[in-house]
Homo-oligomer: A and B are copies of this chain.
Amino acid sequence: MEVTKKRIIDAAIIVFNNDPSGTLEMVAEKAEVTTRTLYRYFKDRKILLEFCRQEMTFTCKAAMNAAFEASTIPLKQLELTLYACIDCGSKYAFFDKTNQRSEYQPSAGNEENREYDHINSRWIALIIALQKEDIITSELTPEWIQQLFSGMINTTLRAMGSGNIAPNSIKKFAWYSFSKSIGISDQKPS
């Protein structure tokens, strides 16, 4: 019951993430329920999207905060954040897309928007700190680094989906490539 509801929301996030005008039938199919069941849980598309938004915000916020708090070393925090967002999968991808692009924002100043801004500024602060300490390059702007970050999540998700890269190597690849791409100075052995 609650399980079904969650399954539908998760399915919707996946479907709408790469097909915003996708039909509710696609969502239902992905969730392995009939459309009739879907409509029992969600009055209409708008409501469903609201639940998606809520779910994405909640999940991503929790995952990212947990990553932050799992270490006090800034660089480690960044690495853990990357892994956390990868684990959020489409939830992160869609969450980021909806908050980045204005088209998706129905009414500015709502709860989910503030949540995003909060996590976001914390993440940006981390980047700036790393730049100040010369751990990553200052040749790149924080805005670009942020694009690289979400870009790397998307790349990783696509790679996982494509199936021709060993799943257990992927996260390591992602961190390797991302850390280099932001001009990390080589880590010394000790």
Interface residues of A, Cβ cutoff 8 Å to B: 18-23, 100, 139-141, 143-144, 147-148, 150-152, 154-155, 158-159, 162, 164-165, 169-170, 173, 176-178, 180-183
Contact = CB atoms under 8 A, between A and B. Distances in A.
Contact of A147 (B22, B147, B165): B165
A40 to B, nearest CB: 24
Contact of A181 (B154, B158, B177): B177
- Copies of this chain: 2
Nearest to A18: B20
A158 B100 CA distance: 10
27 contacts: A19-B20, A19-B21, A21-B21, A21-B23, A100-B162, A139-B176, A141-B165, A141-B169, A141-B173, A143-B162, A143-B164, A143-B165, A144-B165, A147-B159, A147-B162, A148-B155, A148-B177, A150-B155, A151-B154, A151-B155, A151-B158, A154-B154, A177-B181, A177-B182, A180-B181, A180-B183, A181-B181
